[in-house]
Copies of this chain bind each other. A is one copy, B any other.
Amino acid sequence: MSLLVVGTVAFDAIETPFGKTDKIIGGSGTYGALSASYFTNKTNICAVVGDDFLGSDIKMLNKHGVNTEGLQIKEGEKSFFWSGKYHNDMNTRDTLATELNVLADFDPVIPESYQGCEYLMLGNLTPQIQKTVIERLHKRPKLIVMDTMNFWMEVALDDLKETMKMVDVLSINDEEARQLSGEHSLVKAAQKIIALGPKVLIIKKGEHGALLFNENQVFFAPALPLEDVFDPTGAGDTFAGGFIGYLASTNDTSFENMKRAIIYGSALASFCVEKFGCERLVELSDETLNARVKEFIDLVQFEIEMA
C-alpha cells in the first residue's frame, strides 16, 4: 500500500559527547520516510526546503524509493535548521538554534500522484499543517499516524486537540502523555488521551521502550539495551516511520499486527542512534534488519505453560 509521510526535511547540526557534525540532513519527514522505505517502495514525502538543500540528499531519498515530487524547493529561501547539544546522559539536550526559514509559511501541496494513499504519517509539525494535509486528501487514508511534541501542547493545544480527533494513532513520549492528560500513571493517561480521539496511543519511553494502548489492550515493546547511544536525534521519527511502513507493507491494521509494527519501529530506531543523524539508517540491509528484529525476539521471549 502507498504511504504519504508529511514532516520536516531540514538541516541539523548535532553535538554529542562522542563528537559533532556540520549541517547534515535531518527532520521528521526525512527520518520517517527513510525508515518506512525499508518496508514499502511506495513512500511519498510532502515537505518544504530552501534552495540551499543539496541535490545529493534528494538523490539519496530517491535511491531509497522515496518519491520527492511533493518536496517543495523555495528559491531564495533557506531550509529549516536546528542545532542541539546532548548532555552526557543522552536523555536531555540543549537547543542551540532553531531557524524556521521555509517552515514559517509552509503550505503543504499534495501532488495528484499522492492522492489515494492508504497510509498517512503526520510527522512532527504544527498541528494546523497536519490538519490541512488531512483535509487536502480527497479520500481519507485507511490509517493516519500522528507524531507530535510538548512544544505544540504549550503553544497550540486547541489545534492539537482538533487534529488528534482526526487521526487513528497518536505517538508521543511519556512526559508528553503526562502533560497532555494531567495524569502521572501512564495507564490513566492513555485512557484519557484515547477519549480525546485517537483509537490507539503509542507512548515512547526512549531507552525504556514503548507502550501501545487501545481502549482495552496494552502491549509493551522494549528498547534494545545498547552499549552506546551515539546520537538520539530522529529516533522517535524513525520509530514512527518504521511502525507505519510495516503496517502499510502488510496492509493490516489489527492490534496484533501493530505489535509487530512496533517491534520493527523499535529495531529501526535502535539503528538510528548508532551513528550521527541518519548515517546508519541509510546503509541497512534486510539481513541486518532481520538480525536486529531477532535480537528483540530473544530479548523478551520466554515460555510459561499456564494450567
Which A residues are closer than 8 A to B by beta carbons?
88-89, 184-188, 205, 208-209, 211, 217-222, 225-229, 256, 259-260, 263, 290, 293-294, 297-300, 302-304, 306-307
Contact = CB atoms under 8 A, between A and B. Distances in A.
B220 A300 contact: yes
Contact of A306 (B220, B293, B307): B293
B302 A260 contact: yes
Nearest to A302: B259
Given A209-B222, A222-B222, A185 B228 contact: yes
A48 to B, nearest CB: 37
Q: Which of A211, A218, A221, A302 has the most CB of B within 10 A?
A: A302
Contacts of A184: 88-89
A228 B303 CA distance: 28
18 contacts: A185-B225, A185-B226, A185-B229, A187-B225, A188-B227, A205-B208, A208-B209, A209-B209, A209-B222, A219-B299, A220-B222, A222-B300, A260-B302, A263-B304, A293-B304, A293-B306, A294-B306, A300-B300
A172 to B, nearest CB: 15
A299 B220 contact: yes
A20 to B, nearest CB: 19
A225 B208 contact: no
Contacts of A185: 225-229
Contacts of A217: 298
Contacts of A188: 227
A71 to B, nearest CB: 33
B260 A218 contact: no
Given A187-B227, A297-B304, A306-B293, A208 B208 contact: yes
A302 B263 contact: yes
A16 to B, nearest CB: 13
Q: Which 7 A-B pairs have the closest CB atoms?
A: A259-B302, A208-B208, A220-B222, A187-B227, A300-B300, A187-B225, A220-B299
A300 B205 contact: no
B187 A226 contact: yes
A256 B303 CA distance: 8
A253 B221 CA distance: 26
A226 B190 CA distance: 11
A69 B280 CA distance: 61
Nearest to A190: B225
A222 to B, nearest CB: 4
Contacts of A205: 208
Contacts of A303: 256, 260
